[in-house]
Amino acid sequence: MVKSFLNGINNLIGGEFLEKEIYSIYGVASVGKSVYLIGEALNLIANGWRVVWIDTEGGFQGNFNVWEPIYEKRFGKINLDNFHYYRVLSVEEFCELFGMQVKVDYGDSKMEVTPTSVNEKLSELYEKYGRLRGKVAVIVDSMSSPIRLQFTSKVQNFSGRADAESLMLLNLIKFAEKTNAFVLLSNHESKNPTDIYHPQGSLRGGSTLKYYSKYILQFVKPMKKAWGDFRQVIAVRTPIARDNELSEWVKLTSNGYEDSSIQEVEAVK
């Protein structure tokens, strides 16, 4: 349907982003997830796509102001009228964006999340894109942030967290079905440094997110200081190969993300 601006990403996902599919990327803080997503969004717009960007973390505008002119030099003129930015901080706001009203019951040790009504016709997103069929992408940076903000360490109700994540994901899936969009999500990484048998970090989130994300990519920054510009992108899950079998190298430079190779990485002393 549409290719990434990085050949390495295309190699990992089977050639191109496909409509109605959910793609998840994850990595530790400051690995460069947002910079990659900004590049992907601007590449899409330069190719005639509309991008819905849902920001749940903040800090977007400063990041965007730095990288937008850099990527524009690479991709050509970018019509920012096709970039639609939404700032949301909670599960309620996220669902309301798609026309679903949800109720979060707060307690000392648990939180319960239940949908109360669905009204797609009143949703701004459905008003704008409901009649379109294709050339729409939704980028969420990040999927896990609203749940982390609302479900504190005191809240041990994992079923409530799972319900919140499921409702957010349901809205994304319904929107993708209606508009033939594809969805690109960033997520935080969970890692247990004491577990020597599972050194690789995992996608933060419940089983619903992992089940519906048929493509999961991990961005890894090498430990070696001289390799600081390089990122290994691992296909943790992809339909085209076994889990963790494929990986590609990219690099983050003053020109944004660019393709690289293991040979280029190993050549750096």
Percentage helix, strand, coil for the chain under 3-state DSSP, each rounded to 5: 35, 30, 35
pLDDT (tens, 9 = 90+) of the chain, 269 residues, equals 899 999 999 999 999 999 999 999 999 888 999 999 999 999 999 999 999 999 999 889 999 999 999 999 999 989 999 999 999 999 999 999 999 998 887 765 566 778 888 888 778 888 888 777 789 999 999 998 888 777 766 555 567 778 888 999 999 999 999 999 999 999 988 665 555 455 566 776 778 888 899 999 999 999 888 899 999 999 999 999 999 999 999 999 999 999 999 999 999 97
Q: Match domain 19-222 to its CATH number in 3.40.50.300, 3.30.1600.10, 3.40.50.620, 3.40.630.10.
A: 3.40.50.300
215-220 and 230-237: which strand pairing? antiparallel
Residue 108: phi and psi, rounded to 5, are -65, -35
Helices 33-46, 60-75: inter-axial angle, 10-degree rounding: 50
Q: Which helix (H) or strand (E) holds 231?
A: strand 230-237
Domain ranges of the chain: 19-222
